[in-house]
Amino acid sequence: MARVELFARTEIGCVRERNEDAFIVANITTGVRGLRPTTTVQELTESIGLIGVCDGMGGAAAGDQASRIAAETLYDKLMAATALNEASNVQEAMLGAVVGANRAIAEYARQHPGKRGMGTTMTGVLIYGHELHIVHVGDSRAYIRRGRTLTQLTSDHSIVGQMVATGQLTADQARSYEHRNVLLQALGVQPTIQPELVVANPCAGDVLMVCSDGLTGPLDDNHILEIMLKHHDPVRCCRALTEAACAAGGPDNVTVGIARFLGEGLPIPDPNQGVQVRRASHTLQ
C-alpha cells in the first residue's frame, strides 16, 4: 500500500539569538500533530497529511510568534475544513488557511503595538491522496527529488527571486546578491497577499522537501541533492541537511521537512519526463 514517511527538524543556527522558524507535521484525518508514529508514517489512501515550514522575518519584532501563529493557523483552518473530498475544495481550504494566517498575525500585531512589523513566510503542503497541494508565500521553498534530480516547486517571493525569474541574475549570482533577503511578500505585513498554489503528483521513490532559507542560503541545490542522495530515511536526511547548513556557517535559523513516498499504487517515474507542476497565483485579502 502506498504510504508517506515524514519528519521535520529545526536548528537555531550559529548566529541568531533565537529560532524564528516553525514547522508543522500533522495527520489531518485524525487530528494528530507533531512527530508521532501516526503522523510520521501515513497511508495515502487513509490519511490526509500536512507538512509545512514558516520562517519569521529575521530582525523583525516577534518573528518567532509570527511563524508559530502561521503554522498553527494552517493546521487549525485545515482541521476545520469539512469538505476535503475534491481537489477544488482542497485548494479553497488551502487559500482560506493562508488568508486566515495573514489576518491572525496582523490582528496580533494590532493588539500588541510593540510587535508591529512581525511577519513570516509560509510553505505548506497538503498530501491529498496521490496529489501534493502547496500554498506558498515568501522565500521558503518546496522541492521534489526524483531520482538524481532536484526540482524546485515554488517561486521565491523576493527581489532576487524575481530577478532570477526574469533572467537578470543567475541562481549562483543571486546567492551573493546584496538584497537577497528582501521579501516582496510575507504574511502579516499587508492586508492583500498573492499566495502561489502549486499542485504536483508524487511518484514512487519521490522525496518532497520543504525548507526555510536557512538551508538554501548556505547550501546550493547541488550540495542539498548530494546530501539527500546519501540519506534516504527522513529522520537522518533532516538531521544531515540541518547539520550541513550549520557547518557552512549557519547564518540563519534552518528548518527542513521531508516526506518520502513509497509502496505499491504510486506511479513509476518516467526517466524521460521531469516533475510536472501546475501553478497559479491568487490575490486575496
**What would the mean pLDDT of 2-22 be, rounded to a whole number?**
96
For residue 251, what pLDDT band results from cuts at 50, 70 and 90? very high
Higher pLDDT, 10 or 82: 10
In the predicted structure, residue 4 carries a pLDDT above the cut 60: yes
Count of Cβ atoms closer than 10 Å to residue 283 Cβ: 8
Q: In DSSP terms, which residues pair with 196 in a beta bridge?
A: 136, 281
Domain positions in the chain are 3-281
Alpha helices in 122-261 (DSSP H): 159-165, 171-175, 213-216, 221-230, 234-247
Q: In DSSP terms, which residues pair with 91 in a beta bridge?
A: none
pLDDT for 168 equals 75
Higher pLDDT, 148 or 271: 148
In the predicted structure, residue 137 carries a pLDDT above the cut 90: yes
pLDDT for 232 equals 96
Say if CB 258 and CB 6 are below 8 A apart: yes
pLDDT for 158 equals 76
Structure pTM?
Answer: 0.94
pLDDT 10s digits, 150-196: 999 999 987 776 776 777 777 776 666 666 677 889 999 999 999 99
pLDDT for 246 equals 98
Second-level CATH architecture of 3-281? 4-Layer Sandwich (3.60)
pLDDT 10s digits, 194-240: 999 999 999 999 999 999 999 999 999 999 999 999 999 999 999 99
DSSP character at residue 183? B
From residue 18, how far is each of 37, 40, 59, 178, 259 by CA, in Å? Answer: 29, 26, 10, 24, 26
The CA angle 242-246-252, to the nearest 5 degrees, is: 90
Q: In DSSP terms, which residues pair with 24 in a beta bridge?
A: 52
Instruction: State the residue for C-alpha cell 508591529.
Output: 116
pLDDT for 224 equals 98
- Angstrom distance (rounded) from CA 267 to CA 285: 37
From residue 43, how far is each of 5, 35, 142 by CA, in Å? Answer: 9, 16, 21
pLDDT 10s digits, 44-103: 999 999 999 999 985 556 899 999 999 999 999 999 986 777 777 899 999 999 999 999
- Angstrom distance (rounded) from CA 267 to CA 180: 38
DSSP 243-267: HHHHHTT--S-EEEEEEEEESTTSP
